[in-house]
Amino acid sequence: MDACSCITCGDVAIVARVVELRGQSAVVECDPPSRGAGGAREEVAVELVAPVELGEQLLCHAGVALERVVQ
């Protein structure tokens, strides 16, 4: 799912990679080809999936990481 749909509302979540750890939060970055959202960074709460590691891909929705993505 990419940025042309509402990223906050409804059953839409985006996959983003952990680039920085900040206690109960992490800064995540969308990888480039996910169109408009590519490269965008956002701080998300990670309590629901902790512990997370740098480089992990998380499914994020409304400022919260909901699940880690298993490739």
Partner 1 sequence: MKHLSEYRSGEIAAGLAERIAALVEPGSSYKLMEICGGHTHAIYRHGIEDLLPAEVQLVHGPGCPVCVIPMGRQDDAIAIAEQDGVIFTTFADMLRVPATNGSLLDAKARGADVRMVYSPLDALRLARENPDRQVVFFAIGFETTAPSTALTLLRAGAEGANNFSIFCNHVLVPPPLRAILDAPDLQLDGFIGPGHVSTVIGTQPYEFIASEYRKPVVVAGFEPLDVLQSIYMLLRQLTEGRCEVENQYVRVVRREGNERALAVIEETMEVRDTFEWRGLGFIERSALGVRERWGQFDAERRFELPGTRVADPPACQCGEVLRGALRPWECKVFGTACTPERPIGTCMVSSEGACAAYYNYGRLERRSERTPA
| Bond prior to 51 in cis (omega within 30° of 0) | yes
Decide: is 64 part of the binding site for partner 1 (CB under 8 A): yes
Decide: is 33 part of the binding site for partner 1 (CB under 8 A): yes
- Of 21 and 49, which has the nearer Cβ to partner 1? 49
> If you write DSSP's letter for every residue of 22-67 in order, what string do you get?
ETTEEEEE--TTSGGGTT-EEEEE-TTT-S--TT-EEEEETTEEEE
- Of 2 and 21, which has the nearer Cβ to partner 1? 2
Among 18, 26, 28, 57, binds partner 1 (CB under 8 A): 57
